[in-house]
């Protein structure tokens, strides 16, 4: 992947950038050092930690800088276009008041994410695309990560997702006929949240093997994707149950407080990486999280029920805090379980063409059960 020569104005890799960083940091702070801590997928950019010092107290503080630089690419390259669009979405999510910034004083309680301090985006039309996001560093408070979550951590993450979904519940803007084309909503995030949405994964769909195992997902994948996308289209009642999805809520995008940390009323974790934030049925995030991030022993019938109850109870509590009492009553556990079935079918449809991973045996079993209940297991 080639890079642009001219990128965002807050990169750490070019001469004179420390002074530009200095100009967007909080007042009376001085840059001490910068260090690249990770590279983005397929070489699209880097994530750096900026260490600074408050000039009066001499207290050190750290920030995270995410930079992206991508050339224009082939307009027919679905993968490249999806990635570039995802970075535009993340920039929008952090920049617009209605998204990341609105979480700071949410009625539903604490929903920890990196606090955006500055966002710089190029247009991405003629010369390529560049992005720089300067944000707070989660690590001083949320220092722990895990790739296979135990019950306590899974409950923390589901509590966070429940609050996030409840905060944005019913916020999807209405669409006009002119909005039919394209993958982005008028608000600037994905029309359909999640990185495996069928509309952006036609190559994977066409790669599904023609076999008895995968034929039901090839045959009915489009129908299920339409069902998930059309909830808001049915009637005014249907629209209420769409929300903003994180879109990639796997364990690798979650940080937790240290075990034994004092309880403060928060969920005990923070999420980051909002490239695939978009509108959708909340069960889409829940399905992906369970299928990729929790320890397999938590997916027994009893433990799965307990985890879904944690999520459902918290969503309904938060909706009541927002005054959405009818929505809270209507969003029953059984409703969540039905929509979860659809969402798992959609996830397995993607894996059938891309490759299986995570708790794939559980997901495939649940997906086949959901298809059978809908009469689509042929």
The residue range of the domain holding 146 is 138-378
Q: Could you tell me how many helices (H) and strands (E) the chain has, helices first?
A: 12, 9
Residue 71: pLDDT band by 50, 70, 90 thresholds? confident
Same domain, 120 and 143: no
Which of 92, 121, 136 is the C-terminal boundary of a domain?
A: 136
Phi then psi dihedrals of residue 244, to 5 deg: -90, 130
What is the rounded average pLDDT of the residues 33-51?
Answer: 93
Q: What is the dihedral of CA 258, 152, 370, 196, to 10 degrees?
A: 0
Same domain, 125 and 159: no
pLDDT in tens, 238-279: 445 799 999 999 999 999 999 887 677 789 999 999 999 999
User: pTM for this one?
Assistant: 0.92
Residue 225 has pLDDT above 60, yes or no: yes
Q: Is 248 helix (H, G, I), strand (E, B) or coil?
A: coil
Residue 177 has pLDDT above 70, yes or no: no
Same domain, 33 and 172: no
Establish how many alpha carbons lie within 13 A of residue 87's alpha carbon, considering only the half-sphere containing its beta carbon: 28
For the chain, give the mean pLDDT. Answer: 89
Same domain, 266 and 155: yes
pLDDT on residue 13: 52
Same domain, 372 and 236: yes
Could you give the number of structural domains in the chain? 2
pLDDT on residue 19: 67
Alpha-helical (H) ranges within the chain are 17-24, 78-95, 151-168, 202-206, 215-229, 231-234, 236-239, 283-293, 301-321, 325-330, 333-354, 360-373
What is the rounded average pLDDT of the residues 336-353?
Answer: 96
Same domain, 113 and 175: no
Which of 136, 163, 193 is the C-terminal boundary of a domain?
A: 136
Beta-bridge mates of residue 66: 47, 133
pLDDT on residue 378: 72
CA distances from 209 to 204, 216, 260, 291 (A): 10, 11, 47, 21
pLDDT on residue 239: 47
Residue 232: pLDDT band by 50, 70, 90 thresholds? very low
pLDDT on residue 176: 66
Same domain, 19 and 143: no
Separation between Cα atoms, residue 332 and residue 315, nearest integer Å = 10
Separation between Cα atoms, residue 28 and residue 55, nearest integer Å = 5
Same domain, 306 and 377: yes
pLDDT in tens, 20-39: 777 778 888 889 999 999 99
- The CATH code of the domain that includes 3 is 3.30.200
- The CATH code of the domain that includes 161 is 3.90.1200
Residues 92, 132, 82, 243, CA torsion sign: negative
Q: At CB < 8 A and 24+ separation, what contacts does 10-17 make?
A: 10/65, 10/67, 10/118, 10/120, 10/132, 10/134, 11/65, 11/67, 11/69, 11/132, 12/36, 12/46, 12/48, 12/50, 12/65, 12/67, 13/46, 13/67
Same domain, 192 and 290: yes
What is the rounded average pLDDT of the residues 358-372?
Answer: 97
Same domain, 132 and 148: no
Same domain, 93 and 158: no
Which of 136, 166, 185 is the C-terminal boundary of a domain?
A: 136
Same domain, 93 and 160: no
Residue 96: is it exposed, middle or buried by C-beta count within 10 angstroms (0-12/13-18/19+)? middle
């Amino acid at each position: 992947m080639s890079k642009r020569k001219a990128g965002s104005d807050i990169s750490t890799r070019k001469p004179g950038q420390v002074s530009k960083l200095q100009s967007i940091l909080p007042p009376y702070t001085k840059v001490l050092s910068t260090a690249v801590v990770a590279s983005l997928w397929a070489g699209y950019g880097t994530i750096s930690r900026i260490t600074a010092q408050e000039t009066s107290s001499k207290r050190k503080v750290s920030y995270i800088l995410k930079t992206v630089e991508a050339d224009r690419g082939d307009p027919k390259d679905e993968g490249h276009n999806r990635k570039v669009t995802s970075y535009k979405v993340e920039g929008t999510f952090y920049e617009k008041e209605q998204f990341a910034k609105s979480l700071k004083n949410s009625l539903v309680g604490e929903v920890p994410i990196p606090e955006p301090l500055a966002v710089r985006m190029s247009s991405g039309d003629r010369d390529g695309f560049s992005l720089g996001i300067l944000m707070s560093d989660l690590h001083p408070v949320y220092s722990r990560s895990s790739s296979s979550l135990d019950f306590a951590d899974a409950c923390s993450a589901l509590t966070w997702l429940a609050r996030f979904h409840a905060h944005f519940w019913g916020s999807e803007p209405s669409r006009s006929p002119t909005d039919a084309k394209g993958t982005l909503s008028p608000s600037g995030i994905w029309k359909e949240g999640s990185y495996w949405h069928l509309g952006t994964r036609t190559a994977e769909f066409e790669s599904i093997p023609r076999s008895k195992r995968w034929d039901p997902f090839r045959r009915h994948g489009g129908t299920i994707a339409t069902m998930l996308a059309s909830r808001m289209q049915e009637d005014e009642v249907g629209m209420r149950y769409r929300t903003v999805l994180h879109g990639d809520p796997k364990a690798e995008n979650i940080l937790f407080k240290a075990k034994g940390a004092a309880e403060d009323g928060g969920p005990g974790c923070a999420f980051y990486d909002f490239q695939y934030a978009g509108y959708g049925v909340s069960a889409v995030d829940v399905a992906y999280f369970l299928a990729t991030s929790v320890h397999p022993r938590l997916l027994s019938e009893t433990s799965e029920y307990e985890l879904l109850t944690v999520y459902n109870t918290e969503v309904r509590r938060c909706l009541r805090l927002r005054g959405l009492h009818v929505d809270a009553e209507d969003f029953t556990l059984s409703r969540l379980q039905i929509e979860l079935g659809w969402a798992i079918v959609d996830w397995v449809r993607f894996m059938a063409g891309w490759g299986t991973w995570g708790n794939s045996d559980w997901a495939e079993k649940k997906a086949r059960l959901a298809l059978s209940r809908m009469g689509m297991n042929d």
